[in-house]
Copies of this chain bind each other. A is one copy, B any other.
Amino acid sequence: MVTQVQNKLLRLIPTDELSRVLRLCERTKLVPRRILHHYKLPMEYVYFVESGLVSVAARVGRDKFVEVWLIGSEGLVGAPIMLAANAAPLHRRTVQVAGEALRIRTREFCEILGSLPQLRSVVERYLAVVLAQTSQSGACNSYHGLKHRLARWLLVARSALADDEIPLTHGVLAELLGVRRASVTECLEVLQNEGTISTKRGLVKVENYAELSSICCNCFRLIEGEYRRLVLSAVGADSDVEVSAPRIRSPLIEIDQYISDRDLGGSSS
């Protein structure tokens, strides 16, 4: 039986629904490099991440995968299963940063979705965010330079981990981004010289969040804004999930602010 819950999606649903979900949950450790869902194989469980980081990667070559989205305690590993039984076996889901998760058998998960409307609604909105994140990252991949993409990745990971310290090696970062390890090393050094991050062996630490954001392309802000707008702000005030920035007020806002957002024109790589 599970008691204290860190997962942000679960913390958004009312206690009666929550307790019904938790009855089916099992707490497990997330061990780095472990594969939660293999490419082209059925998903046995879905995982509400409590801590740590899971990356979802698409296959682009023999034994070659590139990350397409990223999941931390703000999300759910396996959400696409709700769209189609056996959806999304195109991806491989790998633990990148150690942590814990609450897992449910996919069949049971799909069944309770029918009787828990709040849970369903939250997961649906989360899935919309996954689509937004994936598409924005994909566009970013083809248009922005590595420095921007790396900054974006670090910022997304920081949000997902809820921690400034991201315990990953350059090699792993390179794999996730689909670039050379040496390119990551060079780029990280540039960012470090600018004072926005620091690095140790096997660790990248975000030192200056605000400045890293301003270096990054706008893609990060769009992704994070979408999470706030669709998942967090759509819930009543009974939620105790803290939002680290002011909530976006309502469905569609501040169009001009977005459109004239400063560091957009200058793709000063």
Encoded as 1 (CB less than 8 Å from any B CB) or 0, chain A from 49 to 73 comes to: 0000000111111101111110000
A219 to B60, CA, bound (A): 7
- Whether the pair B136, A137 counts as a contact (CB closer than 8 A) is no
- Chain-B contact segment, one of A13-21, A125-133, A163-171: A125-133
A251 to B88, CA, bound (A): 11
A80 to B68, CA, bound (A): 18
- Whether the pair B135, A68 counts as a contact (CB closer than 8 A) is yes
Contacts of A66 in B (CB 8 A): 139, 142-143
Whether A259 is near chain B, meaning CB under 8 Å from some CB there, is yes
- Chain B residue with minimal CB distance to A86? B251
- Chain A interface, DSSP helix/strand/loop, else mixed: mixed
In chain A, residues 118-160, which have Cβ atoms closer than 8 Å to a Cβ of chain B?
A: 124-125, 127-128, 130-132, 134-144, 149
- Whether the pair A131, B80 counts as a contact (CB closer than 8 A) is yes
Whether A93 is near chain B, meaning CB under 8 Å from some CB there, is no
Known contacts A61-B143, A80-B128, A252-B40; A87 and B230 CB within 8 A of each other: yes
Contacts of A218 in B (CB 8 A): 59-61
Distance in angstroms from A141 CB to nearest chain B CB is: 4
- Whether the pair A142, B141 counts as a contact (CB closer than 8 A) is yes
- Whether the pair A40, B258 counts as a contact (CB closer than 8 A) is yes
- Whether the pair B39, A259 counts as a contact (CB closer than 8 A) is yes
Contacts of A41 in B (CB 8 A): 252, 255
Contacts of A87 in B (CB 8 A): 125, 128, 131, 230
- Whether the pair A255, B142 counts as a contact (CB closer than 8 A) is no
